[in-house]
C-alpha cells in the first residue's frame, strides 16, 4: 500500500509541475496576438472541414453532384461565395475542399517527421558509415527541385489523393533528416551528453531521451510552418490535376478550373485561393508564435 501511495504521490507531483508548465506556455501564447488569431483561423477551417455537411445547405453539391440550373450565380444571400460552372455552391465546395487540403498538410508533415527525425538523429549521433549512407540518400532526394520530384513521383504512381500525399511526403522527409542531424551533431558535443554517457546511459536512450527533447522546438516550429507549405504544394499538385480527383472538392483544382472563368466569374477561383492563402499564412504565423512560447528560457522571463 505504502508503495502504491508513494507512486501516486510521485505521479501527482509530476502532473502538477507539468500543468504548471502548460499554464505558463498558455499565458505566454495569449500575449502573441497574431499567433492567437492564426490558431483561431486554423481551428475554424478544421471545424469547417469536419462539419462541412452540417454547415452548408447544399451538402450534396459539396460532395460533388452538379446542379446545372444554377451555373455561375454571383455571390448572394443563398450562395455567399456564388456558384461555379456546374452550379455547385462555392462555399460548400470550399468547406469540403478543406478536408483534402488540411489532411494532406497534416499527413505529409507527420510522415516526413516520422521518417526524417529518427534517421537524422541516428545519423547525427552515431556518425560513421551509417551517417554517410543516410545523408547520401537524402542528397539524392534533395538533388531534384522538390515540386518537380513530387510531380514525377505522383505521375508515376498515378493521379490520386493518396499518391499525391505519398509523393509530397517523399520529397519532404530529407529536410527533417538534415535539420535533426545538424542539431544532433551540435548537441552531441555538449557536456550534458558526455555527462549522461558518464552516468552509464546507452546510445539509444541518449538519442531518444536526451537529444530529441532538445530538438523538439525547432522540429515543431518547422513542421507547423511546413503544414502550410505542404497544403500549398498539395494545391499546386491538384492544380495540374495530380491531386484529389473530381468530383471530390479540392482548393487547388478549384483555382485551376476557376482560372478559366476568372474575368467574368471571379468568385469561383478567388474564394478557394483565399482559403489556401489564409491557411498557409496562419500556419506560418502559428509556427513563429510556437517558437517564442515553447522555449522555457524565454517563457519564464515574463
Partner 1 sequence: MEGPLLSVEGLRVQFRTYAGLVRAVNGVTFDLHQGEVFGLVGETGCGKTVTGLSILRLVRPPGEIVAGKIAFDGLNILSLSEAEMQEIRGGRIAMIFQDPAASLNPVFTAGEQISMVIRQHRSVAAGQVHQRTLEMLEAVGLPDPPQMARAYPHELSGGMQQRVMIAMALSSDADLLIADEPTTALDVTIQAQILELLAQLRQERGLSILLITHNLGVVAQTCDRVAVLYVGHVVEKGPTREIFKAMKHPYTQGLLAAIPRPGSYGQTLPAIGGSVPSGLDLLPGCPFQARCSRAMEVCQKEPPALIPVGRDHHVACHLYREGAR
Site residues (vs partner 1, CB under 8 A): 2-4, 6-7, 9-10, 13, 17, 190-192, 194-202, 205, 209-210, 213-214, 216, 296-297, 300
CB 222 within 8 A of CB 176: yes
Beta carbon of residue 211, minimum distance to partner 1 (angstroms, whole number): 9
In whole angstroms, give the CA distance from residue 137 to residue 121: 15
Query: 199 or 263, CB closer to partner 1?
Result: 199
Beta carbon of residue 51, minimum distance to partner 1 (angstroms, whole number): 37
Total Cβ atoms within 10 A of residue 128: 8
Beta carbon of residue 26, minimum distance to partner 1 (angstroms, whole number): 18
In whole angstroms, give the CA distance from residue 255 to residue 97: 11
End-to-end, the C-alpha distance of the chain in Å comes to: 42
Beta carbon of residue 186, minimum distance to partner 1 (angstroms, whole number): 12
Query: 158 or 198, CB closer to partner 1?
Result: 198
Kindly give the residue spans of alpha helices, DSSP state H, lying in the chain.
Answer: 2-30, 33-50, 52-55, 59-63, 90-126, 128-142, 146-157, 161-188, 191-198, 203-205, 212-239, 251-260, 266-294, 296-300
Report helix, strand or coil for 89: strand
Question: Which residue, among 295, 286, 258, has the nearest Cα to 105 in the 3D structure?
Answer: 286
Query: 33 or 197, CB closer to partner 1?
Result: 197
Beta carbon of residue 77, minimum distance to partner 1 (angstroms, whole number): 54
CB 217 within 8 A of CB 298: no
Beta carbon of residue 8, minimum distance to partner 1 (angstroms, whole number): 9
CB 141 within 8 A of CB 149: yes
Query: 2 or 302, CB closer to partner 1?
Result: 2
Query: 160 or 217, CB closer to partner 1?
Result: 217
Query: 158 or 213, CB closer to partner 1?
Result: 213
Beta carbon of residue 116, minimum distance to partner 1 (angstroms, whole number): 20
Query: 158 or 202, CB closer to partner 1?
Result: 202
CB 175 within 8 A of CB 117: no
C-alpha 14: how far from chain center: 30
Amino acid at each position: 500500500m505504502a508503495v502504491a501511495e508513494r507512486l501516486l504521490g510521485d505521479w501527482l507531483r509530476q502532473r502538477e509541475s507539468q500543468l504548471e508548465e502548460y499554464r505558463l506556455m498558455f499565458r505566454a501564447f495569449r500575449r502573441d496576438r497574431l499567433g492567437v488569431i492564426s490558431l483561431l483561423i486554423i481551428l475554424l477551417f478544421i471545424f469547417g472541414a469536419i462539419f462541412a455537411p452540417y454547415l452548408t445547405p447544399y451538402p450534396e453539391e459539396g460532395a460533388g453532384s452538379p446542379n446545372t440550373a444554377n451555373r455561375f450565380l454571383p455571390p448572394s444571400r443563398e450562395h455567399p461565395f456564388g456558384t461555379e460552372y456546374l452550379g455547385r455552391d462555392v462555399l460548400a465546395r470550399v468547406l469540403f475542399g478543406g478536408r483534402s487540403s488540411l489532411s494532406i498538410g497534416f499527413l505529409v508533415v507527420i510522415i516526413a517527421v516520422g521518417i526524417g527525425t529518427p534517421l537524422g538523429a541516428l545519423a547525427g549521433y552515431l556518425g560513421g558509415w551509417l551517417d554517410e549512407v543516410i545523408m547520401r540518400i537524402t542528397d539524392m532526394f534533395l538533388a531534384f527541385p522538390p515540386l518537380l520530384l513530387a510531380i514525377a513521383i505522383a505521375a508515376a504512381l498515378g493521379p490520386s489523393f493518396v499518391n499525391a500525399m505519398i509523393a509530397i511526403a517523399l520529397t519532404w522527409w530529407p529536410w527533417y533528416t538534415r535539420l535533426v542531424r545538424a542539431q544532433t551533431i551540435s548537441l552531441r558535443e555538449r557536456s550534458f551528453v558526455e555527462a549522461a554517457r558518464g552516468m552509464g546511459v546507452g546510445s539509444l536512450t541518449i538519442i531518444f531521451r536526451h537529444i530529441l527533447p532538445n530538438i523538439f522546438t525547432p522540429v515543431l516550429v518547422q513542421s507547423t510552418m511546413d503544414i502550410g507549405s505542404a497544403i500549398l504544394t498539395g494545391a499546386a499538385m491538384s492544380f495540374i490535376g495530380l491531386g484529389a480527383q473530381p468530383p471530390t472538392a479540392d482548393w487547388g483544382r478549384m483555382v485551376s478550373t476557376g482560372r478559366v472563368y476568372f474575368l467574368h466569374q471571379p468568385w469561383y477561383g478567388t474564394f478557394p485561393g483565399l482559403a489556401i492563402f489564409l491557411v498557409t499564412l496562419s500556419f506560418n504565423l502559428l509556427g513563429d508564435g510556437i517558437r517564442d512560447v515553447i522555449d522555457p528560457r524565454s517563457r519564464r522571463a515574463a
